[in-house]
Amino acid sequence: MHVAYFTNQYPKVSHSFIRREILALEQLGHSVERFALRSDAAELVDPADQLEFGKTAYILSDSKLRLVLQSLTVFIVHPIKFITTLFFAIKLGFRSDRGVLRHIAYFVESCTLLKWQLQTGIEHIHAHFGTNSTTVVMFSYLLGGVGYSFTVHGPEEFDKPEFISLAEKIKYCRFVVAISSYGRSQLFRWIPLEQWHKVKVVHCGLDDAFLADIATDPNVSNQLVCVGRLCEQKGQLLLLKSMRSLRDAGINCKLVLAGDGPMRAEVERRISEYELSDRVEITGWISSEQVKMLLVESRGLVLPSFAEGLPVVIMEALALYRPVITTYVAGIPELVKNKHNGWLIPAGDSDALTVAMKLLLDADGQTLSMMGLNGHKAVNEQHNIRIEAEKLATHIERGIN
């Protein structure tokens, strides 16, 4: 089976799950082309991502003139499809928060993607995220390209389904993937019952780099780690409030914020304002191996997200026998069970977060060990990338046939 993947940006520091999925499909014997709009080589710190960068073709690496000329070529070869798809793009643009001009740009990009599909002879193309990457793939299909599928992660797709024309994308696709049962339910909301059969659940997964690790003694240090982009939805500002409460209560602990993002300056200001500089560290972007090392060196993961899909870092922490504190949001409760492999709290509740952090810090070695074993077992059963890639490959093969 010869397929392609298309994303807005690949590889990307926070998208290691896409890389794992592609490599798992290749290990199953399938041939996978990598297409993307862009990438930022300067931010890639993981050797595996740097290797993927060299395997990926980028639409925006072409000059604007070449992109326009390719569009003219499509017009000459497929004039009717060109005109009808262009008008469809304009129609979607009027409904979108991104505007008409941006959708015309997606249309132009889809013409180059169509050329690559024909040149490589792929049978199917899969996109990740139901936003602009799937828009480009849908337009290329309407221009005469191969059938497509896409994975919806959330929360962005569920925040504005009408603006991103989610229903139209599902209408034309071979199938659509949700990463959790919760995600499946949200897709059901926006399509007719007759299309529900198109929605498949395929989890993001981990490979043997995490799942093959044998149980080790629990970490009883006072270090906690939060891994994620520094942005509003991850809840780091709430976490800092809880760190201040723990300090005021005389509880000694350290917090490592692993990641970077648009809110870094605000996070740093709050750390200074709360006088937490001796207790909170920001690492910036780090490699997957460094994330793994931090998880092993910490007592547990804390991720007080306000909105999510199902964070891969939760799977990574549980696979490494580390309990997790997180929120009753989206697909998270499908993996994290309260007081079984971690603690679940209401999103936005600083007091509940503080209590959960204290419980983690007070937990004895036997409790931490039990939670670690439970977490590893749950991830191995639900998020093994080999098993999930086999599911995805089956759906693609059925779509092709």
Q: What is the pLDDT of residue 288?
A: 85
Q: How far is CA 174 from CA 96, 126, 329, 397, in A?
A: 23, 10, 29, 11
Q: What is the pLDDT of residue 67?
A: 97
Distance CA 13, CA 261 (A): 11
Between 1.10.3720.10, 3.30.1330.30, 3.40.50.2000, 3.30.930.10, what CATH number should domain 2-205+384-400 receive? Answer: 3.40.50.2000
Residue 337: CB atoms within 10 A of its CB come to 15
Q: Which CATH superfamily is domain 208-383 in?
A: Glycogen Phosphorylase B; (3.40.50.2000)
Residue 159: CB atoms within 10 A of its CB come to 11
Write out the two tokens for 370.
């039990």
Helix (H, G, I), strand (E, B) or coil at 325: strand
Mean pLDDT by 10 residues, the chain (401 residues): 97 90 98 94 82 95 95 97 98 94 98 98 98 98 98 94 97 98 97 98 94 83 96 97 98 96 97 98 91 96 96 96 97 98 98 98 97 96 97 98 92
Q: What angle do CA 173, 176, 177 make, to 5 degrees?
A: 160
Write out the two tokens for 395.
């759906």
Q: What is the pLDDT of residue 334?
A: 98
Q: What is the pLDDT of residue 89?
A: 98
Domains 2-205+384-400 and 208-383 share a fold: yes
Domain boundaries, the chain: 2-205+384-400, 208-383
Q: What is the pLDDT of residue 214?
A: 76
